[in-house]
Structure 1
Amino acid sequence: MGKIPASLRSSAIPVTQLLKNPPQTQSSKPLPPSYFSSKKKPKSFKSLKPSLNPNSQSHPISLITSPILSDAKTLINSLVSNLNSPVDLQFHNSLLHSYSSISNLEDAFSLFTYMLKTLPSFSPDHSTFHILLSSTCNSNSNDSPLSHLRRVVDFMVFHGCLPHPATIDVAVRGLCVSGHAEDAVKLVSELHCKNSVTPDHYTYNFLVKHLCKTRSMTMVYNVISELQGSVGLKPNLYTYTILIDNVCNSRNLREATRLLSELSENGFKPDCYVYNTIMKGYCTLSLGNEVLRVYKKMIEEGVEPDIVTYNTLIFGLSKSGRVKEARKYLDVMAEMGLFPDAVTYTSLMNGMCREGDAVGAMRLLGEMEAKGCSPNACTYNTLLHGLCKSRLLDKGMELYGVMKSGGVKLETASYATFLRALCREGRAAEAYEVFDYAVESKSLTDFAAYSTLESTLKWLKKTREKGLAV
């Protein structure tokens, strides 16, 4: 716990050297190869080419390429005449999938019926009908596929295959992805009334989460109430977590508190993730007191904090100007057997830089590395921004040299602050060099990098005219 991924490991140069004898950029040791490791190359197209052997275990993809029904039947006749041994359901489903994905529902039904008559080994099950359901939802039409989904379900029942929770899951996900979440709610109620089938909580929570992202909370609550009345589905702990996370993201902490009380009233005990979510919400509002209050309540309720809890707490306290208090929780973490990670230290450094103690933040970086925790790009950018704000430009240049030697990308805020600090000190040539690195390293888009440089130079011209810059 608290271990930093290899992809985030930084320069082998300890930051303590920056505080004493700054190394030259040219002599900086390169970062470990894992830092620069590129993504694995994709497999060749040959290796991705589907097998057309009907007895192969892999799906024969796109066997039927024409939406014309007669062409599909002709191909099936040709395949049947060349088959020397029975084939499995996977092969039949692949045939149906390849055709239903490019044809209309009527023709897909017709091909299904033709396959039943022509292929003696074809014995459809739920997976077969789910292919038709999925293809119906994936059509490019702007019209709701609800009526077609109803037909597929009736077709399914007609052939002796009753819908079950997985059937609802396929239909609900398809309707939500295609932008018809309201119809998904209707279908859930209809299938429950007509076929006595109820979705499981995985499907239910998927629907709630999708509604939270795309609809108002008023509608979400109405749907929850409707499904509770018509289907008997009640929110569980994960449902409440989704709701709390959504209102916290919209900074409605009063509603989050109400949901927390409702959660407890319904017999659920808030877990670590629920408390972390609420703490995160208070962090966005810079309410350190409330973050601490939630943490203490969590302890009182006997819920064991994890590293995310402490990172959130330290970030919230640091952001609200309580860095000294936040640092105390490093010791608490150690007592709990948790190891501070890059997020922990970066949160503290950010708070220290806000207070104007960039040198102290650099010392903390040295302490961080001494304890075996490697900084990441966010750590470096936080420090660079803080050093420039504190007008410690030389130290900023030293840190930038380490970042450049390690290929660490510049973030927008630190890049803009760095350029302005350089121009303010009359070091325009170095500012142009930083601009070149930002472009070459793909830290920003060319437009963003150039427009920031241009606005900085305009600012410099104005300040010089007023006699406020070198």
Structure 2
Amino acid sequence: MESKGFQPDSVTTDIAIRTLCSTGHQDHAVHLIKNLSQVHFTKPDTYTFNFLVKTLLKTRTLTGASTFISEMKNGFGVKPDLVTYTILIDNVCNGKNLREAMRLLDVLKEEGFKPDCYLYNTIMKGYCMLSYGGEVLKVYKTMIEEEIKPDLVTYNTLIYGLSKSGKAKEAMKFLKEMAKTGHFPDVVTYTSLMNGLCRDGNALGALELLGEMENKGCNPNECTYNTLLHGLCKARQLDKAVEFYGVMKEDNMKLESGAYGTLVRALCRNGKVAEAYEVFDYAVESKSLTDVAAYTTLESTLKWLKKAKEQGLAV
């Protein structure tokens, strides 16, 4: 191109950078983008720049990617934008480094950018991973103070975070709050709440919520049933748990490992070993678990039962 007198433009740069990155030549992409910026004064547009930043975060450390951003900003005047900071914050949140996420949030504000709903949702998700329900709630309150309208993802993340950290009662309050803002609970919302209620030992309350969910035309899914099955077994509501298992089997739903293990242990604990074997067969046939995983759980439960009988702790 150069020998023919054609100067590269932003489209040329974008194609070259994406091609180099897709073939594992990130170092060449960095060298090229700096060369084009310095020699040809062809700065990358925001799409190309942010694409490269995102790629570098997958192949380099956060420090390495941050160094590249600083070099482009100070050397060539290519400044990070809101998307750049969102990419960085998403990366540190996935790495459970929420302290760095909050620092970057402050930097973003200092640079004159206003965080959007997606960015706050990302930070809330990071706190959820750490089961910091109180921090999730703080982020939500900050959004409201800054007049940023929460969306369905915001509410689902908030409810999930509170439920996961043992604050199911507080999470329940946001069902009405959602409706006020025009966002209505979906299967994710209800399942998160049921999980929280089950964690609090209120499996019967989770069953009531299932009824409310279905009355409002929201159909439960496989995850909902697994959540309830696990919760009912933990609450020693074996009869109801077996009913749910029957519905799952009839609809060819897969068992999650936690629900499967809890059900098998509950059946064996109540002297229903034959039924436990039947659940094992279904787990294998439905490919819910690998043969080895399903058998290992059953075998360890039977060993526990044998030892308990020997010690007079089980019949």
TM range (shorter): over 0.9
Distance 1:401 1:259 in 2: 50
Matched ranges for 1:345-424 at <5 A = 345-424=190-269
Residue deviations 1:255-282, cap 9 Å, x none? 1111111111111110001111111111
Distance 2:137 2:19 in 1: 42
Question: What is aligned with 1:210?
Answer: 55
Question: What is aligned with 1:38?
Answer: none
Question: What is aligned with 2:296?
Answer: 451
Distance 1:398 1:357 in 2: 18
Aligned with 2:173: secondary structure?
helix
Matched ranges for 1:65-214 at <5 A = 156-214=1-59
Structure having the higher helix fraction is 2
Question: What is aligned with 2:80?
Answer: 235
Aligned with 1:321: secondary structure?
coil
- 1:354/1:167 Cα in 2 relative to 1: closer, same or farther (>3 Å)? same
- 1:292/1:196 Cα in 2 relative to 1: closer, same or farther (>3 Å)? same
Residue deviations 1:109-167, cap 9 Å, x none? xxxxxxxxxxxxxxxxxxxxxxxxxxxxxxxxxxxxxxxxxxxxxxx332444322232
List runs of 5+ in structure 1 lacking aligned partners.
1-155
Q: Would you say 1:295 and 2:140 are equivalent positions?
A: yes
Cα offset for 1:254? 1.2
Distance 1:429 1:376 in 2: 28
Work out which of the residue numbers 298, 313, 318 in structure 1 matches 2:163: 318
Work out which of the residue numbers 91, 114, 117 in structure 2 matches 1:272: 117
- 1:176/1:451 Cα in 2 relative to 1: closer, same or farther (>3 Å)? farther
Distance 1:207 1:461 in 2: 59
Residue deviations 1:329-384, cap 9 Å, x none? 10011111111011111111111101111111011101100011111111111111
Letter in 1 for 2:2: V
Distance 1:363 1:299 in 2: 31
Aligned with 2:79: secondary structure?
coil
Question: What is aligned with 1:19?
Answer: none
Question: What is aligned with 1:61?
Answer: none
Letter in 2 for 1:412: S
Letter in 2 for 1:402: V
Question: What is aligned with 2:187?
Answer: 342
Distance 2:98 2:238 in 1: 40
How many residues of Structure 1 are paired with residues of Structure 2 in the alignment?
Answer: 315
Matched ranges for 1:433-452 at <5 A = 433-452=278-297
Distance 2:43 2:209 in 1: 55
Q: Which has the larger radius of gyration?
A: 1
Cα offset for 1:190? 1.0
Q: Percent identity?
A: 66
Work out which of the residue numbers 244, 255, 260 in structure 1 matches 2:105: 260
Distance 1:196 1:388 in 2: 66
Aligned with 2:2: secondary structure?
helix
Distance 2:232 2:53 in 1: 45
Distance 2:260 2:11 in 1: 50
Distance 1:168 1:295 in 2: 39
Distance 2:99 2:284 in 1: 44
Question: What is aligned with 1:46?
Answer: none
Q: TM-score, normalised by structure 1?
A: 0.65
Cα offset for 1:412? 1.3
Aligned with 1:455: secondary structure?
helix
Aligned with 1:338: secondary structure?
coil
User: Comparing 317-326 with 347-356, which one deviates more in the overlay?
Assistant: 317-326
Aligned with 1:388: secondary structure?
helix
Distance 1:197 1:263 in 2: 26
List runs of 5+ in structure 2 lacking aligned partners.
none
Cα offset for 1:235? 1.0
Letter in 2 for 1:393: L
Q: Would you say 1:281 and 2:126 are equivalent positions?
A: yes
Letter in 2 for 1:388: C
Aligned with 1:207: secondary structure?
helix
Letter in 2 for 1:238: V
Distance 1:215 1:287 in 2: 28
Work out which of the residue numbers 267, 270, 274 in structure 2 matches 1:425: 270
Q: TM-score, normalised by structure 2?
A: 0.95
Question: What is aligned with 1:144?
Answer: none
RMSD: 1.6
Cα offset for 1:253? 1.2
- 1:169/1:461 Cα in 2 relative to 1: closer, same or farther (>3 Å)? farther
Distance 2:296 2:58 in 1: 33
